[in-house]
Amino acid sequence: MRSLVLILALVPLWRLHAQEAITATIDLRDQRNDRLEVELIVPPLGDAPLVFALPRIVPGIYGAMDHGRLVGSMEAFDGNGHPLPIQRIDVDRWRLPSPQGLHRITYSVDDGWEEFDIRFSVGNYRSSEGTVKPGAVVLNHNTVVGYFEGHEHLPYTIELKKPATHYAATSLPRMYENGEAITFNASSYRHLVDNPMLIAPADTAHIRLPDINVLVACHSTTGQPIAQSVAKEIRPLLADQRAYLGGTLPVKDYTFLIYHNPSDVEGSTMGDGLEHSASTLVLLCMPLDPAMIARSVYGIASHEFFHTILPLSVHSEEIEHYDFNTPHMSRHLWLYEGMTEYFAMHMPIKQGRQSVEEFLGVVQEKIRMMRKFPDDIPLTDLSQQAMERQDQYYNFYLKGTLFCMGLDIALREHSNGAYGVQRLVQDLQREYGPGKPFKDEELFATIARLTGPDIGAFLQRHLNEPSVLPVKEWFAKVGVTIDEHGSLHPVSRPTAAQRRLRAAWLGA
Ligand SMILES: [Zn+2]
Protein backbone atom coordinates (compact mmCIF):
# COMPACT_ATOMS: atom_id res chain seq x y z
CA MET A 1 0.00 0.00 0.00
CA ARG A 2 3.00 2.22 0.29
CA SER A 3 2.97 3.25 -3.41
CA LEU A 4 -0.74 4.06 -3.29
CA VAL A 5 -0.22 6.29 -0.27
CA LEU A 6 2.61 8.03 -2.09
CA ILE A 7 0.55 8.64 -5.20
CA LEU A 8 -2.32 10.05 -3.18
CA ALA A 9 0.05 12.32 -1.33
CA LEU A 10 1.28 13.75 -4.64
CA VAL A 11 -2.19 14.68 -5.88
CA PRO A 12 -2.96 18.21 -4.73
CA LEU A 13 -5.89 18.47 -2.36
CA TRP A 14 -7.96 20.62 -4.73
CA ARG A 15 -7.89 17.86 -7.38
CA LEU A 16 -9.14 15.26 -4.91
CA HIS A 17 -12.05 17.50 -4.02
CA ALA A 18 -12.52 18.20 -7.75
CA GLN A 19 -13.76 21.68 -6.93
CA GLU A 20 -13.61 24.33 -9.57
CA ALA A 21 -11.35 27.19 -8.69
CA ILE A 22 -12.07 30.90 -8.60
CA THR A 23 -9.75 32.39 -11.22
CA ALA A 24 -8.43 35.90 -10.58
CA THR A 25 -6.68 37.85 -13.34
CA ILE A 26 -4.43 40.71 -12.24
CA ASP A 27 -2.42 42.73 -14.76
CA LEU A 28 0.40 44.65 -13.06
CA ARG A 29 1.35 46.26 -16.39
CA ASP A 30 -1.90 48.25 -16.25
CA GLN A 31 -1.63 50.74 -13.36
CA ARG A 32 -3.98 53.50 -14.48
CA ASN A 33 -4.58 56.04 -11.69
CA ASP A 34 -2.41 53.93 -9.38
CA ARG A 35 -5.10 51.24 -9.35
CA LEU A 36 -5.22 47.60 -10.41
CA GLU A 37 -8.11 46.13 -12.39
CA VAL A 38 -9.19 42.73 -11.08
CA GLU A 39 -11.39 40.14 -12.80
CA LEU A 40 -12.67 37.03 -11.04
CA ILE A 41 -14.18 34.13 -13.00
CA VAL A 42 -16.49 32.37 -10.58
CA PRO A 43 -17.59 28.70 -10.69
CA PRO A 44 -21.28 27.89 -10.03
CA LEU A 45 -22.02 28.67 -6.35
CA GLY A 46 -25.78 27.93 -6.31
CA ASP A 47 -28.79 30.26 -6.56
CA ALA A 48 -28.96 31.48 -2.96
CA PRO A 49 -27.92 35.09 -2.28
CA LEU A 50 -24.14 35.50 -1.97
CA VAL A 51 -21.88 37.87 -0.08
CA PHE A 52 -18.58 38.81 -1.73
CA ALA A 53 -16.00 40.30 0.64
CA LEU A 54 -12.49 41.49 1.17
CA PRO A 55 -11.06 40.76 4.62
CA ARG A 56 -11.64 43.14 7.48
CA ILE A 57 -8.58 41.58 9.10
CA VAL A 58 -6.09 38.80 8.34
CA PRO A 59 -4.16 36.31 10.51
CA GLY A 60 -1.16 37.81 12.32
CA ILE A 61 -2.83 41.25 12.51
CA TYR A 62 -4.78 42.24 15.60
CA GLY A 63 -6.47 45.43 14.42
CA ALA A 64 -9.20 45.93 11.79
CA MET A 65 -7.76 47.04 8.44
CA ASP A 66 -10.94 46.96 6.29
CA HIS A 67 -9.20 45.98 3.07
CA GLY A 68 -12.49 46.56 1.23
CA ARG A 69 -11.98 50.31 1.71
CA LEU A 70 -9.55 50.29 -1.23
CA VAL A 71 -12.04 48.65 -3.61
CA GLY A 72 -14.23 50.47 -6.16
CA SER A 73 -16.35 49.98 -9.31
CA MET A 74 -17.64 46.56 -8.24
CA GLU A 75 -19.67 44.87 -11.00
CA ALA A 76 -21.07 41.36 -11.52
CA PHE A 77 -22.01 39.66 -14.82
CA ASP A 78 -23.59 36.44 -16.01
CA GLY A 79 -22.11 34.19 -18.73
CA ASN A 80 -23.67 36.34 -21.47
CA GLY A 81 -22.10 39.51 -20.15
CA HIS A 82 -25.35 40.87 -18.70
CA PRO A 83 -24.94 42.76 -15.42
CA LEU A 84 -26.28 41.19 -12.22
CA PRO A 85 -27.38 43.26 -9.20
CA ILE A 86 -24.65 43.76 -6.57
CA GLN A 87 -24.94 46.13 -3.59
CA ARG A 88 -22.37 47.25 -1.07
CA ILE A 89 -23.44 46.25 2.47
CA ASP A 90 -20.53 47.80 4.36
CA VAL A 91 -16.94 48.83 3.73
CA ASP A 92 -15.77 45.24 3.15
CA ARG A 93 -18.82 43.38 1.77
CA TRP A 94 -21.12 43.27 -1.27
CA ARG A 95 -24.40 41.35 -1.56
CA LEU A 96 -25.58 39.54 -4.68
CA PRO A 97 -29.32 39.02 -4.00
CA SER A 98 -29.94 36.88 -7.12
CA PRO A 99 -26.65 35.40 -8.32
CA GLN A 100 -28.23 32.93 -10.81
CA GLY A 101 -25.79 32.54 -13.70
CA LEU A 102 -23.03 34.51 -11.98
CA HIS A 103 -19.86 34.15 -14.04
CA ARG A 104 -17.64 37.19 -13.56
CA ILE A 105 -16.91 39.91 -11.00
CA THR A 106 -14.79 42.95 -11.82
CA TYR A 107 -13.50 45.78 -9.64
CA SER A 108 -10.51 48.03 -9.18
CA VAL A 109 -8.28 48.39 -6.12
CA ASP A 110 -6.07 51.17 -4.82
CA ASP A 111 -2.83 50.36 -3.02
CA GLY A 112 -2.63 50.68 0.77
CA TRP A 113 0.48 52.88 0.82
CA GLU A 114 2.58 54.75 -1.71
CA GLU A 115 5.96 54.44 -0.03
CA PHE A 116 7.20 52.78 3.15
CA ASP A 117 8.28 55.81 5.15
CA ILE A 118 8.42 56.43 8.90
CA ARG A 119 4.81 57.68 8.96
CA PHE A 120 3.04 55.55 11.54
CA SER A 121 -0.26 55.51 13.34
CA VAL A 122 -1.74 53.01 15.76
CA GLY A 123 -3.60 50.22 14.01
CA ASN A 124 -1.71 50.80 10.78
CA TYR A 125 -0.30 47.44 9.73
CA ARG A 126 1.32 48.18 6.38
CA SER A 127 2.84 44.71 6.11
CA SER A 128 -0.71 43.40 5.52
CA GLU A 129 -1.19 45.84 2.63
CA GLY A 130 1.04 46.79 -0.27
CA THR A 131 2.07 49.24 -2.93
CA VAL A 132 1.64 49.27 -6.70
CA LYS A 133 4.29 51.10 -8.70
CA PRO A 134 5.90 50.49 -12.09
CA GLY A 135 9.24 49.83 -10.33
CA ALA A 136 7.96 47.29 -7.79
CA VAL A 137 4.77 45.79 -6.42
CA VAL A 138 4.27 44.52 -2.86
CA LEU A 139 1.19 42.32 -3.17
CA ASN A 140 -0.84 40.98 -0.27
CA HIS A 141 -3.67 39.04 -1.92
CA ASN A 142 -6.12 40.05 0.83
CA THR A 143 -6.04 43.61 -0.56
CA VAL A 144 -6.66 42.57 -4.17
CA VAL A 145 -8.61 39.29 -4.30
CA GLY A 146 -11.89 38.73 -2.44
CA TYR A 147 -13.81 35.67 -1.26
CA PHE A 148 -17.43 34.54 -1.07
CA GLU A 149 -18.65 34.09 2.50
CA GLY A 150 -19.06 30.39 3.23
CA HIS A 151 -16.88 29.47 0.23
CA GLU A 152 -13.45 30.36 1.66
CA HIS A 153 -12.35 26.73 1.16
CA LEU A 154 -12.57 27.01 -2.66
CA PRO A 155 -9.24 26.85 -4.51
CA TYR A 156 -7.92 29.88 -6.37
CA THR A 157 -6.02 30.24 -9.61
CA ILE A 158 -4.14 33.52 -10.00
CA GLU A 159 -3.33 34.62 -13.55
CA LEU A 160 -0.68 37.28 -13.00
CA LYS A 161 0.58 39.51 -15.80
CA LYS A 162 3.74 41.47 -15.02
CA PRO A 163 6.52 43.39 -16.81
CA ALA A 164 9.00 40.93 -18.35
CA THR A 165 11.78 42.73 -16.45
CA HIS A 166 10.24 41.78 -13.07
CA TYR A 167 10.54 38.61 -11.01
CA ALA A 168 7.59 37.47 -8.88
CA ALA A 169 8.96 36.17 -5.57
CA THR A 170 6.54 34.17 -3.40
CA SER A 171 6.09 30.77 -1.76
CA LEU A 172 2.77 30.33 -3.61
CA PRO A 173 3.06 27.28 -5.92
CA ARG A 174 3.46 28.30 -9.58
CA MET A 175 1.89 26.12 -12.28
CA TYR A 176 3.02 27.94 -15.41
CA GLU A 177 5.43 30.74 -16.24
CA ASN A 178 6.23 32.46 -19.50
CA GLY A 179 7.92 35.88 -19.47
CA GLU A 180 5.06 38.22 -18.66
CA ALA A 181 2.51 35.62 -17.52
CA ILE A 182 2.52 33.38 -14.45
CA THR A 183 -0.21 31.08 -13.15
CA PHE A 184 -0.31 30.34 -9.43
CA ASN A 185 -2.55 27.92 -7.54
CA ALA A 186 -3.78 28.24 -3.97
CA SER A 187 -5.70 25.45 -2.25
CA SER A 188 -8.03 27.88 -0.41
CA TYR A 189 -8.51 31.57 0.31
CA ARG A 190 -6.52 31.15 3.54
CA HIS A 191 -3.64 29.60 1.55
CA LEU A 192 -3.75 32.48 -0.94
CA VAL A 193 -3.64 35.14 1.78
CA ASP A 194 -0.79 33.25 3.49
CA ASN A 195 1.51 33.83 0.49
CA PRO A 196 2.34 37.47 -0.30
CA MET A 197 4.45 38.44 -3.33
CA LEU A 198 7.20 40.89 -4.15
CA ILE A 199 7.29 41.63 -7.88
CA ALA A 200 10.33 43.66 -8.92
CA PRO A 201 13.54 43.45 -10.97
CA ALA A 202 15.34 40.38 -9.62
CA ASP A 203 17.52 41.03 -6.56
CA THR A 204 17.63 37.57 -5.03
CA ALA A 205 19.91 35.18 -3.17
CA HIS A 206 19.43 31.50 -2.37
CA ILE A 207 20.49 29.82 0.84
CA ARG A 208 20.60 26.05 0.38
CA LEU A 209 21.23 24.01 3.51
CA PRO A 210 20.65 20.26 4.00
CA ASP A 211 17.37 20.82 5.86
CA ILE A 212 16.06 24.07 4.34
CA ASN A 213 16.00 26.07 1.10
CA VAL A 214 15.56 29.80 1.57
CA LEU A 215 14.93 32.41 -1.11
CA VAL A 216 15.84 35.96 -0.11
CA ALA A 217 14.09 38.36 -2.51
CA CYS A 218 14.72 42.07 -2.04
CA HIS A 219 13.83 45.39 -3.55
CA SER A 220 15.48 48.64 -2.57
CA THR A 221 13.89 51.78 -4.01
CA THR A 222 17.46 53.11 -4.34
CA GLY A 223 17.96 50.58 -7.14
CA GLN A 224 20.93 49.06 -5.32
CA PRO A 225 21.02 45.27 -4.92
CA ILE A 226 20.94 44.23 -1.24
CA ALA A 227 19.93 40.54 -1.33
CA GLN A 228 23.47 39.13 -1.15
CA SER A 229 24.38 41.13 1.97
CA VAL A 230 21.02 40.35 3.62
CA ALA A 231 21.44 36.62 2.87
CA LYS A 232 24.84 36.69 4.62
CA GLU A 233 22.97 37.67 7.81
CA ILE A 234 20.11 35.21 7.39
CA ARG A 235 22.41 32.17 6.96
CA PRO A 236 23.81 32.31 10.55
CA LEU A 237 20.33 33.22 11.81
CA LEU A 238 19.03 29.88 10.48
CA ALA A 239 21.89 28.04 12.24
CA ASP A 240 21.09 29.86 15.51
CA GLN A 241 17.39 29.07 15.22
CA ARG A 242 18.05 25.41 14.47
CA ALA A 243 20.26 25.10 17.55
CA TYR A 244 17.85 27.09 19.72
CA LEU A 245 14.90 24.92 18.63
CA GLY A 246 16.69 21.71 19.59
CA GLY A 247 18.22 20.73 16.25
CA THR A 248 15.39 21.00 13.72
CA LEU A 249 13.89 23.85 11.73
CA PRO A 250 10.10 23.97 11.43
CA VAL A 251 9.93 24.41 7.61
CA LYS A 252 11.81 23.10 4.55
CA ASP A 253 11.20 25.93 2.08
CA TYR A 254 10.95 29.55 3.04
CA THR A 255 10.95 32.95 1.34
CA PHE A 256 12.00 36.27 2.81
CA LEU A 257 10.46 39.20 0.92
CA ILE A 258 12.30 42.38 1.85
CA TYR A 259 11.31 45.86 0.68
CA HIS A 260 13.66 48.73 1.52
CA ASN A 261 13.16 52.47 1.20
CA PRO A 262 15.72 54.98 2.53
CA SER A 263 14.53 57.07 5.46
CA ASP A 264 14.17 60.77 4.63
CA VAL A 265 14.29 61.77 8.32
CA GLU A 266 17.79 61.63 9.71
CA GLY A 267 18.23 59.20 12.58
CA SER A 268 14.78 57.65 12.08
CA THR A 269 14.36 54.06 11.04
CA MET A 270 11.37 51.75 10.93
CA GLY A 271 10.80 48.07 10.27
CA ASP A 272 7.59 46.11 9.93
CA GLY A 273 7.10 42.41 9.30
CA LEU A 274 4.25 39.97 8.90
CA GLU A 275 4.73 36.27 9.34
CA HIS A 276 3.31 33.52 7.13
CA SER A 277 3.65 29.72 7.09
CA ALA A 278 6.29 29.67 4.34
CA SER A 279 7.39 33.30 4.07
CA THR A 280 7.79 36.63 5.78
CA LEU A 281 7.28 40.08 4.34
CA VAL A 282 9.69 42.63 5.84
CA LEU A 283 9.35 46.38 5.19
CA LEU A 284 12.30 48.59 6.07
CA CYS A 285 12.72 52.36 6.14
CA MET A 286 16.36 53.20 6.91
CA PRO A 287 19.55 54.47 5.26
CA LEU A 288 21.09 52.30 2.54
CA ASP A 289 23.64 50.97 4.98
CA PRO A 290 24.20 47.22 4.40
CA ALA A 291 25.29 46.66 8.03
CA MET A 292 22.22 48.44 9.44
CA ILE A 293 19.87 46.65 7.04
CA ALA A 294 21.46 43.29 7.87
CA ARG A 295 21.12 43.93 11.65
CA SER A 296 17.47 44.93 11.30
CA VAL A 297 16.72 41.93 9.10
CA TYR A 298 18.31 39.62 11.69
CA GLY A 299 16.01 41.00 14.42
CA ILE A 300 12.79 41.13 12.40
CA ALA A 301 13.42 37.90 10.47
CA SER A 302 14.24 36.13 13.74
CA HIS A 303 10.90 37.12 15.31
CA GLU A 304 8.88 36.37 12.16
CA PHE A 305 10.60 33.04 11.49
CA PHE A 306 9.89 31.89 15.08
CA HIS A 307 6.21 32.54 14.27
CA THR A 308 6.29 29.39 12.09
CA ILE A 309 5.90 27.64 15.48
CA LEU A 310 3.72 30.13 17.40
CA PRO A 311 1.02 30.58 16.18
CA LEU A 312 1.42 29.09 12.68
CA SER A 313 1.90 25.55 14.05
CA VAL A 314 0.76 25.62 17.69
CA HIS A 315 -2.47 27.62 18.07
CA SER A 316 -6.02 27.55 19.37
CA GLU A 317 -9.25 26.78 17.52
CA GLU A 318 -9.85 30.53 17.08
CA ILE A 319 -6.85 30.70 14.74
CA GLU A 320 -7.37 27.30 13.08
CA HIS A 321 -10.89 28.31 11.97
CA TYR A 322 -10.19 31.88 11.01
CA ASP A 323 -13.01 34.33 10.21
CA PHE A 324 -11.73 37.10 7.91
CA ASN A 325 -14.54 39.46 8.90
CA THR A 326 -15.09 38.95 12.64
CA PRO A 327 -12.35 36.71 14.01
CA HIS A 328 -12.73 35.31 17.50
CA MET A 329 -9.70 36.44 19.41
CA SER A 330 -7.77 33.83 21.37
CA ARG A 331 -6.80 34.46 25.02
CA HIS A 332 -3.20 33.59 24.29
CA LEU A 333 -1.51 36.45 22.47
CA TRP A 334 1.01 36.37 25.36
CA LEU A 335 2.09 33.04 23.81
CA TYR A 336 1.88 33.92 20.08
CA GLU A 337 3.54 37.33 20.29
CA GLY A 338 5.10 37.38 23.79
CA MET A 339 6.84 34.01 23.53
CA THR A 340 7.89 34.62 19.91
CA GLU A 341 9.48 37.92 20.92
CA TYR A 342 11.07 36.24 23.96
CA PHE A 343 12.66 33.61 21.69
CA ALA A 344 14.01 36.38 19.43
CA MET A 345 15.34 38.26 22.50
CA HIS A 346 16.76 35.18 24.28
CA MET A 347 18.33 33.38 21.29
CA PRO A 348 21.32 35.72 20.70
CA ILE A 349 22.67 35.29 24.26
CA LYS A 350 21.75 31.60 24.43
CA GLN A 351 23.64 30.96 21.18
CA GLY A 352 26.63 32.96 22.35
CA ARG A 353 26.19 35.96 20.04
CA GLN A 354 25.63 38.50 22.82
CA SER A 355 27.15 39.36 26.20
CA VAL A 356 25.14 39.27 29.45
CA GLU A 357 25.40 43.09 29.58
CA GLU A 358 24.00 43.48 26.04
CA PHE A 359 21.15 41.11 26.84
CA LEU A 360 20.31 42.91 30.10
CA GLY A 361 20.31 46.20 28.16
CA VAL A 362 17.55 44.87 25.89
CA VAL A 363 15.57 43.56 28.88
CA GLN A 364 15.79 46.79 30.87
CA GLU A 365 14.48 48.77 27.89
CA LYS A 366 11.47 46.43 27.70
CA ILE A 367 10.85 46.89 31.45
CA ARG A 368 11.09 50.68 31.10
CA MET A 369 8.51 50.69 28.29
CA MET A 370 6.22 48.16 30.02
CA ARG A 371 5.92 50.48 33.02
CA LYS A 372 4.13 53.03 30.80
CA PHE A 373 1.24 50.57 30.38
CA PRO A 374 -1.41 49.93 33.04
CA ASP A 375 -1.38 46.59 34.91
CA ASP A 376 -5.08 46.42 35.75
CA ILE A 377 -6.13 44.32 32.77
CA PRO A 378 -4.99 40.65 32.70
CA LEU A 379 -3.09 39.75 29.52
CA THR A 380 -5.55 36.96 28.66
CA ASP A 381 -8.48 39.44 28.78
CA LEU A 382 -6.50 41.99 26.79
CA SER A 383 -5.81 39.30 24.21
CA GLN A 384 -9.53 38.75 23.62
CA GLN A 385 -10.02 42.51 23.31
CA ALA A 386 -6.93 43.07 21.15
CA MET A 387 -8.87 44.58 18.24
CA GLU A 388 -10.62 47.16 20.43
CA ARG A 389 -7.63 47.86 22.70
CA GLN A 390 -5.10 48.86 20.03
CA ASP A 391 -3.66 51.37 22.54
CA GLN A 392 -2.60 48.42 24.75
CA TYR A 393 -1.64 45.93 22.05
CA TYR A 394 2.08 46.74 22.06
CA ASN A 395 2.32 45.52 25.65
CA PHE A 396 2.29 41.92 24.37
CA TYR A 397 5.85 42.60 23.11
CA LEU A 398 6.78 44.07 26.51
CA LYS A 399 4.81 42.54 29.39
CA GLY A 400 4.00 39.42 27.33
CA THR A 401 7.68 38.92 26.58
CA LEU A 402 8.84 39.69 30.13
CA PHE A 403 6.24 37.28 31.50
CA CYS A 404 7.75 34.55 29.29
CA MET A 405 11.17 35.47 30.69
CA GLY A 406 9.79 35.00 34.24
CA LEU A 407 8.22 31.71 33.18
CA ASP A 408 11.57 30.56 31.74
CA ILE A 409 13.35 31.35 35.03
CA ALA A 410 10.57 29.65 37.07
CA LEU A 411 10.71 26.53 34.89
CA ARG A 412 14.51 26.36 35.19
CA GLU A 413 14.26 26.80 38.96
CA HIS A 414 11.71 23.97 39.24
CA SER A 415 13.79 21.56 37.16
CA ASN A 416 17.32 22.16 38.49
CA GLY A 417 18.02 24.08 35.29
CA ALA A 418 17.06 21.27 32.89
CA TYR A 419 13.74 22.52 31.51
CA GLY A 420 12.88 25.99 30.16
CA VAL A 421 10.44 27.55 27.72
CA GLN A 422 12.39 26.14 24.74
CA ARG A 423 11.52 22.61 25.91
CA LEU A 424 7.99 23.67 26.87
CA VAL A 425 7.30 24.90 23.33
CA GLN A 426 8.76 21.67 21.90
CA ASP A 427 6.40 19.73 24.18
CA LEU A 428 3.46 21.87 23.02
CA GLN A 429 4.46 21.08 19.42
CA ARG A 430 4.16 17.39 20.25
CA GLU A 431 0.68 17.94 21.73
CA TYR A 432 -0.66 20.26 19.03
CA GLY A 433 0.00 21.32 15.45
CA PRO A 434 -1.68 22.26 12.17
CA GLY A 435 -5.06 20.55 12.11
CA LYS A 436 -4.77 19.86 15.87
CA PRO A 437 -5.52 23.15 17.62
CA PHE A 438 -5.89 23.49 21.39
CA LYS A 439 -9.01 24.70 23.13
CA ASP A 440 -8.31 28.18 24.46
CA GLU A 441 -9.54 27.37 27.97
CA GLU A 442 -7.53 24.14 28.20
CA LEU A 443 -4.04 25.49 27.47
CA PHE A 444 -3.09 26.29 31.09
CA ALA A 445 -4.17 22.79 32.23
CA THR A 446 -2.00 21.26 29.49
CA ILE A 447 1.02 23.34 30.51
CA ALA A 448 0.42 22.43 34.19
CA ARG A 449 0.27 18.73 33.24
CA LEU A 450 3.57 19.06 31.34
CA THR A 451 5.38 21.12 33.98
CA GLY A 452 3.64 20.86 37.35
CA PRO A 453 0.90 22.56 39.39
CA ASP A 454 3.19 25.39 40.59
CA ILE A 455 3.64 26.53 36.99
CA GLY A 456 -0.13 26.29 36.48
CA ALA A 457 -0.56 28.65 39.45
CA PHE A 458 2.14 30.93 38.01
CA LEU A 459 0.21 31.24 34.72
CA GLN A 460 -3.05 31.85 36.58
CA ARG A 461 -1.55 34.55 38.81
CA HIS A 462 0.26 36.56 36.13
CA LEU A 463 -1.94 36.05 33.07
CA ASN A 464 -5.51 35.56 34.33
CA GLU A 465 -5.37 38.17 37.09
CA PRO A 466 -4.22 41.81 37.10
CA SER A 467 -0.54 41.51 37.97
CA VAL A 468 2.51 43.71 38.36
CA LEU A 469 5.30 41.42 37.17
CA PRO A 470 7.72 40.82 40.09
CA VAL A 471 10.80 41.27 37.89
CA LYS A 472 13.00 42.26 40.85
CA GLU A 473 12.17 38.97 42.56
CA TRP A 474 12.83 36.98 39.38
CA PHE A 475 16.19 38.66 38.80
CA ALA A 476 17.26 38.03 42.40
CA LYS A 477 17.09 34.29 41.69
CA VAL A 478 19.67 34.65 38.89
CA GLY A 479 21.94 37.20 40.61
CA VAL A 480 20.82 40.36 38.79
CA THR A 481 19.79 43.60 40.52
CA ILE A 482 17.76 46.60 39.35
CA ASP A 483 19.08 50.00 40.48
CA GLU A 484 16.98 53.12 41.13
CA HIS A 485 17.28 54.18 37.46
CA GLY A 486 15.92 50.84 36.27
CA SER A 487 19.33 49.61 35.07
CA LEU A 488 20.08 45.89 35.41
CA HIS A 489 23.44 44.69 36.74
CA PRO A 490 24.82 41.23 37.45
CA VAL A 491 25.70 41.09 41.20
CA SER A 492 29.44 41.01 41.84
CA ARG A 493 29.42 37.90 44.06
CA PRO A 494 26.56 35.60 43.02
CA THR A 495 25.81 32.57 45.19
CA ALA A 496 26.42 29.12 43.74
CA ALA A 497 22.65 28.69 43.28
CA GLN A 498 22.36 32.03 41.44
CA ARG A 499 25.28 31.14 39.21
CA ARG A 500 23.84 27.73 38.36
CA LEU A 501 20.39 29.09 37.56
CA ARG A 502 21.76 31.97 35.46
CA ALA A 503 23.98 29.57 33.50
CA ALA A 504 21.00 27.28 32.84
CA TRP A 505 18.86 30.26 31.80
CA LEU A 506 21.33 32.17 29.61
CA GLY A 507 24.10 29.69 28.95
CA ALA A 508 26.40 32.48 30.16
ZN1 LIG B 1 4.91 38.82 15.81
Tens of pLDDT, residue by residue over 253-286, are 999 999 999 987 777 888 899 999 999 999 999 9
Q: Check residue 433 and report its DSSP letter.
A: B
Q: 78-87, 205-214, 291-300, 430-439: which range is least confident on average? A: 291-300
Distance 304 CA to ligand 1 centre (A): 6
First to last CA, the chain: 52
Is 90 exceeded by the pLDDT of residue 360? yes
Are the CB atoms for 168 and 35 separated by under 8 Å? no
Is 90 exceeded by the pLDDT of residue 500? yes
Distance 209 CA to ligand 1 centre (A): 25
Q: Residues whose CB is under 5 A from ligand 1 (ion)?
A: 337
Q: 77-91, 264-278, 385-399: which range is least confident on average? A: 264-278
How do residues 406-416 score in pLDDT, each as one tens digit? 999 999 999 99
H or E segment to which residue 155 belongs: none
Sign, Cα dihedral of 240, 241, 244, 249: negative
Q: 23-32, 163-172, 292-301, 485-494: which range is least confident on average? A: 292-301
Q: Average the pLDDT over 29-45 and give the result.
A: 94
Distance 39 CA to ligand 1 centre (A): 33
Is 50 exceeded by the pLDDT of residue 16? no
Spell out the domain ranges in the chain.
17-191, 203-308, 313-508
How much is the pLDDT for 18? 58
CB atoms within 10 A of CB 208: 8
SS3 for 385?
A: coil
Distance 307 CA to ligand 1 centre (A): 7
In terms of Cβ atoms closer than 10 Å to its own Cβ (0-12, 13-18, 19+), residue 210 is exposed
H or E segment to which residue 405 belongs: helix 399-414
How much is the pLDDT for 33? 87
Q: Average the pLDDT over 200-227 and give the result.
A: 96
**The listed CATH number (2.60.40.3650, 1.20.120.1200, 3.40.50.300, 3.40.50.2300) that belongs to domain 17-191:** 2.60.40.3650
Q: Which CATH number does 313-508 carry?
A: 1.10.390.10
Residue type, 52: F
How much is the pLDDT for 4? 40
Distance 425 CA to ligand 1 centre (A): 16
Distance 290 CA to ligand 1 centre (A): 24
Instruction: State the average pLDDT for the chain.
Output: 93
How much is the pLDDT for 76? 98
Residue 159: strand pairing partners: 25, 183
How much is the pLDDT for 268? 82
What is the band of 1 on the pLDDT scale with cuts at 50, 70, 90? very low
How much is the pLDDT for 415? 96
How do residues 115-174 score in pLDDT, each as one tens digit? 898 876 655 789 999 999 999 999 999 999 999 999 999 999 999 999 999 999 999 999
Distance 202 CA to ligand 1 centre (A): 28
How do residues 93-115 score in pLDDT, each as one tens digit? 999 999 999 999 999 999 999 88
Is 60 exceeded by the pLDDT of residue 79? yes
CATH homologous superfamily for the domain 203-308: Neutral Protease Domain 2 (1.10.390.10)
Is 80 exceeded by the pLDDT of residue 2? no
Q: Quote the CA–CA distance of 468 and 378 in Å, as a whole number.
A: 10
Residue 320: φ, ψ to 5°: -60, -45
How do residues 294-333 score in pLDDT, each as one tens digit? 888 888 989 999 999 999 889 999 888 899 999 999 999 9
Distance 492 CA to ligand 1 centre (A): 36
Is 50 exceeded by the pLDDT of residue 7? no
> How far is residue 28 from each of residues 108, 160, 440, 470, measured CA to CA in Å?
12, 7, 42, 54
Find, among 215, 211, 270, 221, the residue nearest to 243 by Cα.
211
Is 80 exceeded by the pLDDT of residue 357? yes
Is 70 exceeded by the pLDDT of residue 497? yes
Q: Quote the CA–CA distance of 288 and 283 in Å, as a whole number.
A: 13
Which percentage of the chain shows pLDDT scores above 70? 96
Residue type, 142: N
Distance 270 CA to ligand 1 centre (A): 15
Find, among 352, 356, 226, 355, the residue nearest to 291 by Cα.
226
Distance 355 CA to ligand 1 centre (A): 25
How much is the pLDDT for 6? 40
Residue 494: φ, ψ to 5°: -65, 150
Fold match, 17-191 / 203-308:
no
Distance 162 CA to ligand 1 centre (A): 31
Is 50 exceeded by the pLDDT of residue 8? no
Is 60 exceeded by the pLDDT of residue 372? yes
How do residues 167-195 score in pLDDT, each as one tens digit? 999 999 999 999 899 999 999 999 999 99
Q: Check residue 377 and report its DSSP letter.
A: S
Distance 274 CA to ligand 1 centre (A): 7
Residue 74: φ, ψ to 5°: -75, 125
